[in-house]
Amino acid sequence: MEKRRLLITSGLPYANGPIHLGHMVETIQTDIFARAMRMMGHEALYMCGDDTHGTPIEISATKRGIAPEDLIKETYASHTADFKGFDIAFTNYYTTHSAENKALAYDIFEKMQAAGLVRVEKIKQLYSESLNRFLPDRYVKGKCPKCGAEDQYGDVCEVCKDRYDAIDLVEPKCVLDGSTPVIRESQHLFISLSELADFLRDFAKSDALSSEVENFVMTWIEEGLKDWNISRDKPYFGFEIPGYPDKYFYVWMDAPIGYMASTMAWCKANNKSFDDYWKNDKTEIWHFIGKDIIYFHTLFWPAMLKVAGYALPKRVHAHGFLTVNGTKMSKSRGTFILASKYLKTLPAAYLRFYFAAKLSTGVDDIDLNIEDFYFRVRSGLIDNLANLHNRSFSFAETKLDGKLSAARFDDDCRKLIGDTKARLAEICKAYENVDLAAAIKAICEIGNAANLFYQNQAPWSYLKGENADIEKARAIVTACAEVVRLIAIAIKPVVPDFAEKIFAQLNLPDQNLADIDNCLGDGNVISHVEKTYIRPERETFDALTVPDETEAAAAAAAAKVLPGEEKVEEHKVAEIVREPLKPLIDFEDFEKLDIRVGKVLACERVKKSNKLLCSQIEIGHPDGPVQIVSGISKYYEPESMVGRTVLVVTNLKPREMFGLKSCGMVLAASDDAGLELPGTILRAPGAKVK
């Protein structure tokens, strides 16, 4: 495998507030990608830092009676503590308020000037006479000039979605002091993006963007690129523009340059060449961003880099927004969850695992559904992967003196390990494609297969009786331990603490993809076994959305309903009356059935039967998954069942079929065309069907 050099970034969090779980979607996704590249043997630097400039910083500091420098220093400490709590492995985390960022911003600006792309123009802006300052768009509210909706900001209407200039607002008011602003002229600097339209069109059609993002960008280009205002009037916390007194770079001019500044600071500290990373086509620059800042990273940013002679991004990967329980994050609903609150409530590994399981290649929003979060972590991470580790490692330590051996491997043991190794290439490909959900799915399927192997091979049965065979038991457990080691390598980018514990209990150094063929066997000893994770209580997950006193006060203040957020009546569905197809029953008869949503964790054919499948299904029972035998093999392959959501009757009396105990029934639709399981169920395993 050829070693690659990747310089990876995520969007810089703004230094005017704490880190929340919306930030963590992107940071976790980027960290997993960077760790995966390192696990595969590539050089992967993860550069990031705080975005520290702009009017909000200056105003917040003024309100508190402190200098902006003190505010961003305080925020930096808070941000870095939260990221450390989530195991984010930055190569360097820096700040845009730095000498490196200033020098680079000046360099890029001067090269754009030399290229004739900078022009000066007088524009009209809203000005607060009481505050003696020009007002940015978000510091003005009024009536939308198009639809008349009240309480709208000076850039876009939240009701009709129309865009406009702040001076077009009807009855504008300054949000800082409620005063009525006046219109004044001010001189500003603009970058002529339209002159770079051909270059930007080629960039949009390159491999740097997904087809989904390319469509956004091409639409903007074809509609005509507007010149970009890169200046702001004082007072403004930022870099003064050389040659233009009292004019400052707009925050979006120097913010992405922060990626370069972070790299430059790291290069200086580690005696590396900055040009090797930002002026070298062999370095792959990867940007991870939210879909709300696609415009800046696919138009302004590549234009700046191109004109200034720096390397262009190889990939700009955009993701969607985070919702909580299906709705926008909201303080009033208790769903605006700070990273610091999460870390006081649950392990970071749970959220890293859950986000990875939900993040694929698209820009769709992802939902942190608390119920689904609980069951996904419990069934995938704990009852599957952590359970495989605990049952096999504990058995080895307590029953086999911790000693492993591959001497008695049979075909089943070799097949289990061979199948696992074969899937590692698939997992690595998923990481490379930033399809984290596919990687997690494959890893969990490996765990399901190994758990089923362990259960069917039953190593404990070889420790007693006249047929006792300790070495046979040792071979079974060694095969399972080897799979656990391989799983730990594969999932290390997602939950590094899990991998660290596995390697320590195997008395091994850190393991990477290059170590997959170093199989466990004679000489390897398992010791000091402890559970990687303890099965959590549901209440701890629910506590995430219970506001504390501070949050409750903030929620009360934020409870005002803004235009466009009013509740809209749902469409009424016509009631359909049909004759029943079987005799009517009393409600009490229906109530006797306990029907739950289940998730299939593992599935295999029943030997000597041509119609039965045996599935392990998570139904939310405190004792773990149940085993159900179903006559559906004519219609479904075992592999297609794993991960499927099904309806289960859980309170049927157990029944034995082909020597297997079945503790329930999977429901399906049946007609002349065959049999079909129900479609997607939007509830988590264990939800009761009423």
**Which residue ranges form the domains of the chain, and what is each CATH number?**
366-515 (1.10.730.10), 587-676 (2.40.50.140)
Of 279-283, 466-470, 544-548, 559-563, minimum mean pLDDT range: 559-563
Cα–Cα distance measured from residue 552 to residue 554, given in angstroms and rounded to the nearest whole number: 5
Query: How many Cβ atoms from other residues are within 10 Å of residue 131's Cβ?
Result: 16
Average pLDDT over residues 353-360: 96
DSSP 3-state of 332: coil
Token pair 């009240």 is found at: 150
Mean pLDDT of all residues in 537-551: 82
pTM of the entire predicted model: 0.79
Q: How confident is the model over 148-200, as pLDDT tens digits?
A: 999 998 887 878 767 788 999 999 999 989 999 999 999 999 999 999 999 99
Between CA 356 and CA 544 the distance in angstroms is: 19
CA distances from 492 to 125, 238, 474, 510 (A): 52, 40, 26, 10
The more confidently predicted of residues 622 and 196 is: 196
**Per-residue pLDDT band at 342 (split at 50, 70, 90):** very high
Angle between the N-to-C axes of helices 436-457 and 348-358, in degrees from 0 to 180, rounded to the nearest 10:
110
568 vs 95, higher pLDDT: 95
The pLDDT of residue 673? 47
pLDDT band at 574 (very low <50, low <70, confident <90, very high): very low
Residues in CB range of 330: below 8 A, 6 or more apart: 324, 336, 558
Mean residue pLDDT of the chain comes to 89
Place of tokens 């990477």: 512
Tell me the HSE value of 615 on the side-chain side, using a 13 A CA sphere.
31
Q: Which two tokens stand for residue 653?
A: 């009396």
Can you read off the two tokens belonging to residue 178? 């409620």
Per-residue pLDDT of 252-310, as tens digits, reads: 999 999 999 999 999 999 999 999 999 999 999 999 999 989 999 999 999 999 999 99
Say what the pLDDT of residue 287 is. Answer: 98
Contacts of 317 (CB under 8 A, 6+ apart): 210, 286, 287, 288, 289, 434
Instruction: Count Cβ neighbours within 10 Å for each residue of 151-167 and write b for 16 or more, e otherwise.
Output: bbbbeebebeeeebebb
Output the CA angle 356-357-358, nearest 5 degrees. Answer: 90
Question: How many CA atoms does the CB half-sphere of 643 hold within 13 Å?
Answer: 15
Query: For the stretch 551-569, what's the b/e string if a residue is b when 16 or more beta carbons lie within 10 angstroms of its beta carbon?
Result: beeebeeeeeeebeeeeee
The pLDDT of residue 146 is above 50: yes
**What is the DSSP-derived secondary structure letter of residue 85?**
H
> So what's the pLDDT on residue 563?
26
Q: Are 642 and 601 in contact, with CB atoms under 8 Å apart?
A: yes
